Amino acid sequence: MRCAVKVSDLYYTYPDGTEALKGINFTAMQGEKIAVIGPNGSGKSTLFYHLNGLFFPTKGSVCINEEEITKKNLDKIRMTVGLVFQDPDDQLFAPTVWDDVAFGPRNTGLSKREVEGRVDNALKMLNIAGLKDKSPDNLSGGQKRLVSIADVLAMNPEIIVLDEPTSNLDPRSSSSLMHLLLDLNTKMNITLIIATHDIDAVPLYAERIYIMDRGRFVAEGTPGAVFADAAIIRNSRLRLPRIAHLMEILQKEDKLPIRNPYPLTIGEARREMLKLAK
């Protein structure tokens, strides 16, 4: 399996002196689904800006498909890595939704027909074809987010990096967006790297997670292994998934013989409970 993203010893200091990243090492294998979790200000967005060359390291390196990002290969990198910003207003700028989604493909030298096909397909996948003639300024926060994801899908990237993609979405839109992303991963082996505060949903899709705090990763591993250490999670100003928290209470306070790594999802908890009931 190929290494899709490799970040080595990455440091980044903003011009005002804020040391936002302090020695980050991160890998994503091709086709992997990774969640990055951390409180506000821990450095997730700053890291993500490095993954498609919006930012360059103060120190360290970022490789995509084993090629280091430099000023010379930015066009190629941006066709490979699609970045969905945390705030869609930072991304949307064209007079209509259709033009916004067409902007990327138009700039890659595709024919008019291919551009139209890409745009129509991306709008359809996100169920927003009906918004195509609207101005992005006149959309709700959730609709803007879907357009910003369509922008990225229309580029057919191999790697999609999403900064809190479900914030601002109602529960149904949030769950259908996650289904769509997982579908792209399954059918097209697209690598997914997702920063999220939706800790309860993480065990449903992530194969590996990174916990970020104050510009560093403080834990990395499978959701089961990482959430087994509740102290690290809480020291990082985060919480366990609610199901795991319930299991922890049942184990520690009610003395039920529940295993740790705790069950993290309703399905896992149900199996554990049925086993205990027998």
Q: 138-151: string of b/e by CB count within 10 Å (b at 16+)?
A: ebeebbbbbbbbbb
User: Which residue number, 39 or 221, has a Cβ lying nearer to ligand ADP?
Assistant: 39
How far apart are CB 44 and ligand ADP at their closest, in Å? 4
Indicate which single residue of 33, 44, 118, 208 sits in contact with ligand ADP (rule: CB under 6 A): 44
User: Which residue number, 45 or 174, has a Cβ lying nearer to ligand ADP?
Assistant: 45
Q: How would DSSP label each residue in 33-63?
A: EEEEE--TTSSHHHHHHHHTTSS--SEEEEE
How far apart are CB 151 and ligand ADP at their closest, in Å? 20
User: Which residue number, 42 or 191, has a Cβ lying nearer to ligand ADP?
Assistant: 42
The yes or no reply on residue 105 touching ligand ADP (CB under 6 A) is no
Amino acid at residue number 106: R
How far apart are CB 264 and ligand ADP at their closest, in Å? 22
Q: Please choose, from the candidates 88, 207, 101, the residue with its C-alpha nearest in 3D space to the C-alpha of residue 150.
A: 101
Find out whether 195 and 42 touch, Cβ atoms under 8 Å: no
SS3 206: coil
Indicate which single residue of 32, 35, 46, 174 sits in contact with ligand ADP (rule: CB under 6 A): 46
The yes or no reply on residue 20 touching ligand ADP (CB under 6 A) is yes
4/59 Cα distance (integer angstroms): 20
Stretch 122-151: interaction string toward ligand ADP, x if CB under 6 A: ------------------------------
User: Which residue number, 40 or 111, has a Cβ lying nearer to ligand ADP?
Assistant: 40
The yes or no reply on residue 41 touching ligand ADP (CB under 6 A) is yes
The yes or no reply on residue 38 touching ligand ADP (CB under 6 A) is yes
How far apart are CB 215 and ligand ADP at their closest, in Å? 7
Stretch 56-75: interaction string toward ligand ADP, x if CB under 6 A: --------------------
DSSP state for residue 24 in the 8-state scheme? E
Find out whether 206 and 223 touch, Cβ atoms under 8 Å: yes
User: Which residue number, 46 or 168, has a Cβ lying nearer to ligand ADP?
Assistant: 46
User: How many Å is the Cα radius of gyration of the chain?
Assistant: 20
3-state secondary structure 69-122: CCHHHHHHHHHHEEEECCCHHHCCCCCCHHHHHHHHHHCCCCCHHHHHHHHHHH
The site for ligand ADP (CB under 6 A) is made up of: 14, 16, 18, 20, 38, 40-46
